Chain A
Amino acid sequence: MRGTIPISVEQGPRGITRWDALAVLLTLSVLVFVAEASRHLLQPLAELQRTPLSLAPEYLPEYAARTTLRMLLALVLSLIFTFIYATLAAKSRRAEMVLVPLLDILQSVPILGFISVTVVFFMSLAPGRVLGAEFAAIFAIFTSQAWNMAFCFYQSLRTVPVELQEAARTFRLSPWMTFWRLEAPFGTPHLIWNMMMSMSGSWFFVVASEAISVGNTTVTLPGIGSYIALAIEQQNLRAVCWAIGAMLIVILLYDQLLFRPLVAWADRFRFEQQAGVLPPRSWVLDVLRHSRVVAVVTEPLARLWRRTFRWSLFHRAGVSVAPPRKGGRWADWLWNVFVVVLALLALWQVATFVSASITWSEAGNALLLGFYTLTRVIILIALATLVWVPIGVVVGTHPRLAQFIQPIAQFLAAFPANVLFPIAVSAIVVLKLDPNIWLSPLMILGTQWYILFNVVAGASAIPSEMRDVGTNLQVRGWLWWKKIALPAVFPYYVTGAITASGGSWNASIVAEVASWGTTKLQAVGLGAYIAQATEAGDFPRIVLGIAVMSLYVVIVNRLFWRPLYWYAERKFRLG
């Protein structure tokens, strides 16, 4: 029993244990790495241009380190953004009216196309310094995670169990303390899971945002992404392979040093515990937990942290409940008008900006190109469904197989697909294939995994009684698929397919245009349109392309995916 373990550990020698040594080593190496990678940030931009990138593999560790650091910073920023934005949306009814739909739109906007716009903005913040370009790259990664995370955390905040909220209120916890004792812990497991799932997207962005050319300015930040870009330019397949190897190692380290410990740590925040499922473990977390040095260092910090719970933004005696909502109708009305006016104003701004240099036929053309890309997305999702649903069901219903396959699939999913592009593109060039067809699969390379994961999760969630009934009544073959497996995984499949389709739209910007040395491959589609406009620095066309793409994504979501989702939830959700 747990109760028999003494709370204070006093036995054993007072010296440093091997846990301590390991923990100190881990911490120091992380510190050195951060210092090394951030040393270059304040350098003037000219310095960067004077030391060109090298394809020699011995430089790769440094490049990888800098890419990783960008990722880390963006993660921290996303987290801060999430806490503030989601809390605001969940606590204030008026803020919610604006913030939630905004998040919904931001999630559908292909931010990849916006990188060029943001580069200009961030460069102006720190003129002539590397910092500005770094900010732009970090912002790009931030956009690939922040909306998702904020939305997920907002939903968690909305579903905090009422009795816990009431307990927090009757024991008069301050809002600050309620957030850290109740709301943040409740949302944590979901949030970390969400962060992990959007990792592949983030790597994708970090790679895409390191070598950007807008019009005639080209900024190349040292990193794996720019290394690959250079390798493509020089048609160096060996360097591409080196980069892929480095990426594999980076992802492995990220997984082992960051996410696995986080997931294992967050397990205690899970609200409902499934019986019979082993809690996740991580050797790094074990090391940190066993080390007395870590305990000695963190204890005062924890104490300091608890001290902040005594702060109260409002006077403690004045904690009061909101009076029943009677008035405020007028204020609501005014607020609505304000929001509508603001939205119209923004719309008008965009319209005038775009219409100044774009004709109706141009807009029609963009719509048509969007239709081509839409066709690609539909076909690819259908193909991925045909491939991954049966495999997912088989894996999910065989726990042994799942145990073996799951980590591999997770690893593959975290891998940024665009790192693999050069290999595919060089093959297309050499074999002289039609880019309109053969570039398309690249769009779904990174996003297909969502379908697999969700289907596996759905299949393993089929209650064993239900499977036993099937066996007992000798339901086999096609009947088994039709009556048991497919209905059971359907809601999960829809969730995965929504994510996959959204991601594919985004990826089309990178996937519909590809180059290998001086050869340029191009498919006809909206993604290629945006990519070209970006390269030419043609802002009205970038905005038009993005607007059309957002329109497609929103319409497809509203008219197809969302009804399908509700149908699946109503009809097939178990329990």
Chain B
Amino acid sequence: MSDALLEIQSCCQAFPKADGEDLLVLNDINLMMKDGEIVGLLGRSGSGKSTLLRLIAGLAQPISGKVMYRGHEVTGPAPGIAMVFQTFALFPWLTVLENVQLGLEALGLPEAEIRQRALAGIDLIGLDGYESAYPRELSGGMRQRVGFARALVVHPNILLMDEPFSALDVLTAETLRTDFLDLWIEGKLPIKGVLLVTHNIEEAVLMCDRILVFSRNPGHIIEEIKVDLPQPRSRLEPAFRDLVERIYVAMTARSVEPPPRVSSDRFVGMGIEMVLPRVSANAMSGLIEAVAGAPYDGKADLPVIASALRMEDDALFPVAEALQLLRFAEIEGGDIQLTETGKQFAEAGVDDRKKLFQRQLLAYVPLAAHIHRVLQERAHHHAPRRRFLDELEDHMAADAAQHTLRAVVGWARFAEAFAYSDRSETFSLDNPS
């Protein structure tokens, strides 16, 4: 236990829902981190990995379990743990130098040492010559370098990185990643361990010694994968590709479970507690067409099609999941395969597509079926938004309920299943013609 840099003991975290009950977002997380490791937390958005990072940073407290840093429990921001933020979190009114000095000033060091350490950090991270620039004058990549320098100059033992490259374009992200890895391998960084949160599978395999794969509802670790490939790693190596494929399989196998079919003999409202992904019908059509077309012919490898469509995993998964929900496709073992309906959809014209979509929507999305039934039962075919929102909020957090309702409105509009007026906030069967 004493050689552990960081140890997380069965941590749980929850946030309050609208009805006063708690929504569990992290369930029984255990993690041990040793000196000299880069550990990756990989998962879809909403799997609680950023929440875990905030617990370690001392920005929040778990409802149960402990975060131990070098044998002491973390109860607030601890000295020796620094963080790099996804959106950089630079102070726009401070120059590069002043931003980097911020953490040192808070340590109460003498002025000369503050300056010397800040300049050394700026030098190390390749920001020479930019000392007096303001963040707004810099490109995204340079801004994140400031973020790195600011975290490194306080000489932390653990560096927390919250999707540090995801706000950058592909080329800039690659450069920054490589520069960081080079410094790390050469032992030039004053840190003992790194915890990296990411949703990008290749990034995790490129950088980490160990990857913890997270799943959702509630967030928990489903697999731990050791990466033994020597640095520097290449994306083209077969071993690298195998590892990526393996993680894809792990992530699709358990996160996407086919929901039950709605049948009329079950009681009304069954299955509406499902949180729906906000995916546009256009994105779904696009993926169906891509998979149906050459060279895939109705079946494609997810990592392959992700890179062919230049989509991030985090953007591709929800679309694939929505297709599975509507039975346009099946997902298994890292592959996506169109169903018969999916193939029909790919062939059909605009009107037929809408009909198909409506059929699948009302058959497989319980919430859509529920709203449709309520509207039909009412004499004037109108119902207020509040009515369904309240129902949803019994099962999920308030913002998830709003997202779910918005998603179903988007699909229903495409399918012309029912109408919604944002001005009066009512659902109806009206069809403006």
Interface residues of A (CB under 8 A from B): 1-5, 7, 161, 163-164, 166-167, 169-174, 177, 181-182, 185, 268-271, 273, 303, 306, 309-310, 316, 318-321, 323-324, 571
Interface residues of B (CB under 8 A from A): 54, 57-61, 63, 75-77, 79, 81-83, 85-89, 91-94, 102-103, 105-108, 111, 129-134, 136-137, 150, 154, 423
A172 with B106, Cβ < 8 A, contacts A3-B131, A167-B83, A303-B111 known: yes
* Inter-chain pairs besides A2-B133, A270-B92, A309-B108, 17 sampled, C-beta below 8 Å: A1-B129, A163-B87, A166-B59, A167-B85, A169-B58, A171-B82, A171-B102, A171-B106, A172-B79, A172-B107, A173-B102, A177-B106, A181-B91, A181-B102, A271-B92, A303-B111, A324-B63
19 pairs, CB–CB < 8 Å, chain A vs chain B: A2-B132, A3-B132, A3-B133, A163-B86, A163-B88, A166-B54, A166-B59, A170-B59, A171-B82, A171-B103, A171-B154, A172-B103, A172-B107, A174-B106, A177-B105, A306-B105, A319-B76, A320-B76, A321-B60
| Smallest CB separation, B146 vs chain A (Å) | 11
Q: Tell me the nearest residue of chain B to A4, going by C-beta.
A: B129
Find out whether the CB atom of B129 lies under 8 angstroms from the CB atom of A185: no
A309 with B105, Cβ < 8 A, contacts A166-B89, A172-B77 known: yes
| Smallest CB separation, B6 vs chain A (Å) | 15
Which residue among B88, B93, B130 has the maximum number of chain A CB atoms within 10 Å of its CB?
B93
> Cα distance A401–B92 when bound, in Å?
32
Find out whether the CB atom of A185 lies under 8 angstroms from the CB atom of B91: yes
> Cα distance A229–B301 when bound, in Å?
87
| Smallest CB separation, B365 vs chain A (Å) | 28
| Smallest CB separation, A469 vs chain B (Å) | 22
Find out whether the CB atom of B423 lies under 8 angstroms from the CB atom of A173: no
Q: Tell me the nearest residue of chain A to B96, going by C-beta.
A: A3
Q: Tell me the nearest residue of chain A to B423, going by C-beta.
A: A571
> Cα distance A560–B321 when bound, in Å?
47
> Cα distance A273–B92 when bound, in Å?
10
A7: chain B residues at CB < 8 Å are: 131-132
Q: Tell me the nearest residue of chain B to A266, going by C-beta.
A: B93
B129: chain A residues at CB < 8 Å are: 1, 3-4
| Smallest CB separation, A19 vs chain B (Å) | 20
Find out whether the CB atom of B93 lies under 8 angstroms from the CB atom of A268: yes
Q: Tell me the nearest residue of chain B to A312, going by C-beta.
A: B108
| Smallest CB separation, A9 vs chain B (Å) | 12
Other-chain residue from B82, B91, B105 in contact with A182 (beta carbon distance below 8 A): B91
| Smallest CB separation, B243 vs chain A (Å) | 32
| Smallest CB separation, B422 vs chain A (Å) | 9
A310 with B108, Cβ < 8 A, contacts A319-B77, A321-B76 known: yes
Find out whether the CB atom of B93 lies under 8 angstroms from the CB atom of A185: yes
| Smallest CB separation, A567 vs chain B (Å) | 10
Which residue among A3, A173, A320 has the maximum number of chain B CB atoms within 10 Å of its CB?
A3
Find out whether the CB atom of B83 lies under 8 angstroms from the CB atom of A170: yes
Which residue among A171, A173, A270, A271 has the maximum number of chain B CB atoms within 10 Å of its CB?
A171
Other-chain residue from B59, B81, B102 in contact with A321 (beta carbon distance below 8 A): B59
| Smallest CB separation, B372 vs chain A (Å) | 27
B108: chain A residues at CB < 8 Å are: 309-310, 316
Q: Tell me the nearest residue of chain B to A318, going by C-beta.
A: B76
| Smallest CB separation, A185 vs chain B (Å) | 5
Find out whether the CB atom of A163 lies under 8 angstroms from the CB atom of B75: no
B91: chain A residues at CB < 8 Å are: 164, 167, 181-182, 185
Q: Which 7 A-B pairs have the closest CB atoms?
A: A320-B76, A3-B129, A171-B103, A163-B89, A310-B108, A167-B89, A269-B93
B58: chain A residues at CB < 8 Å are: 169-170, 321
> Cα distance A188–B306 when bound, in Å?
45
> Cα distance A35–B405 when bound, in Å?
67
B76: chain A residues at CB < 8 Å are: 318-321
B134: chain A residues at CB < 8 Å are: 268
> Cα distance A74–B185 when bound, in Å?
60
Find out whether the CB atom of A5 lies under 8 angstroms from the CB atom of B132: yes
> Cα distance A324–B12 when bound, in Å?
13
Q: Tell me the nearest residue of chain B to A170, going by C-beta.
A: B83
Other-chain residue from B85, B103, B137 in contact with A163 (beta carbon distance below 8 A): B85
Which residue among A1, A309, A319 has the maximum number of chain B CB atoms within 10 Å of its CB?
A319
A163: chain B residues at CB < 8 Å are: 85-89
B89: chain A residues at CB < 8 Å are: 161, 163-164, 166-167
Q: Tell me the nearest residue of chain B to A272, going by C-beta.
A: B92
| Smallest CB separation, A434 vs chain B (Å) | 45
> Cα distance A269–B94 when bound, in Å?
9
| Smallest CB separation, A538 vs chain B (Å) | 51
Find out whether the CB atom of A320 lies under 8 angstroms from the CB atom of B92: no
> Cα distance A185–B106 when bound, in Å?
17
Find out whether the CB atom of A309 lies under 8 angstroms from the CB atom of B85: no
| Smallest CB separation, B60 vs chain A (Å) | 7
Q: Tell me the nearest residue of chain B to A319, going by C-beta.
A: B76
A309 with B106, Cβ < 8 A, contacts A2-B137, A170-B83 known: yes
Q: Tell me the nearest residue of chain B to A270, going by C-beta.
A: B92
| Smallest CB separation, A159 vs chain B (Å) | 14
| Smallest CB separation, B313 vs chain A (Å) | 23
A172: chain B residues at CB < 8 Å are: 77, 79, 103, 106-107
| Smallest CB separation, A301 vs chain B (Å) | 14
B154: chain A residues at CB < 8 Å are: 171
B150: chain A residues at CB < 8 Å are: 171
> Cα distance A320–B61 when bound, in Å?
10
> Cα distance A575–B176 when bound, in Å?
32
A309: chain B residues at CB < 8 Å are: 105-106, 108
Q: Tell me the nearest residue of chain A to B101, going by C-beta.
A: A306
Find out whether the CB atom of B92 lies under 8 angstroms from the CB atom of A306: no
Find out whether the CB atom of B61 lies under 8 angstroms from the CB atom of A323: yes
B63: chain A residues at CB < 8 Å are: 324
Which residue among B76, B79, B136 has the maximum number of chain A CB atoms within 10 Å of its CB?
B76
| Smallest CB separation, A269 vs chain B (Å) | 5
> Cα distance A171–B106 when bound, in Å?
7
Which residue among A1, A163, A170 has the maximum number of chain B CB atoms within 10 Å of its CB?
A170
B75: chain A residues at CB < 8 Å are: 320-321
Q: Tell me the nearest residue of chain A to B137, going by C-beta.
A: A2
A270: chain B residues at CB < 8 Å are: 92
| Smallest CB separation, A341 vs chain B (Å) | 28
B88: chain A residues at CB < 8 Å are: 163
> Cα distance A561–B271 when bound, in Å?
43
Q: Tell me the nearest residue of chain B to A7, going by C-beta.
A: B132
A321 with B105, Cβ < 8 A, contacts A164-B91, A166-B85, A571-B423 known: no
> Cα distance A402–B57 when bound, in Å?
49
| Smallest CB separation, B102 vs chain A (Å) | 6
| Smallest CB separation, A157 vs chain B (Å) | 16
| Smallest CB separation, B159 vs chain A (Å) | 11
| Smallest CB separation, B288 vs chain A (Å) | 32
Q: Tell me the nearest residue of chain B to A310, going by C-beta.
A: B108
| Smallest CB separation, B423 vs chain A (Å) | 7
A171: chain B residues at CB < 8 Å are: 77, 82, 102-103, 106, 150, 154
| Smallest CB separation, B88 vs chain A (Å) | 8
Find out whether the CB atom of B82 lies under 8 angstroms from the CB atom of A170: yes
